[in-house]
Amino acid sequence: MKQIIATDKAPAAIGPYSQAIQTGNLIFTSGMIPIDPATNTLVEGDITVQAKQAIGNLEALLQASGSDLDHVIKTTVFIKDMNDFSKVNEVYASFFTKDCPARSCVEVARLPKDVLIEIEAVAEQA
């Protein structure tokens, strides 16, 4: 059975979708962008600042669903400029420190609110 996951600790959906869905032991998140959920505003800064916020939002959403970053199986990272790949890797490695999940990273032409990064995940229930 499908269960909707929602929390004010991560940015609210900006369209007709859920922040995350749990089905069975798996949690599927929507893409997290670098919006500060406390102010509902985009964080200002370069790719490292935006990556920290986006992954922090992902972490908060997973915690609200009863999971955490250690239980992430797969992520998909969307970045505006592949030249930022190494900077994103540095930030990513500071959050995913052991038994890293599988990952895809793709450059895209444009992201919601013209952010530099968006990240989504599939995780197991903790």
Of these residues, 64, 105, 111, 122, which one is catalytic? 105
Contact indicator for 3, 23 with CB cutoff of 8 Å: yes
Q: Which two tokens stand for residue 123?
A: 């995780």
Task: Judge whether 105 counts as a catalytic residue.
Answer: yes
CB of 63 closer than 8 Å to CB of 54 = no
Structure tokens at 50: 């935006």
> How distant, in Å, are the alpha carbons of 54, 98, 102, 111, 124 from that of 31?
9, 22, 16, 10, 17
Residues labelled as active-site residues: 105
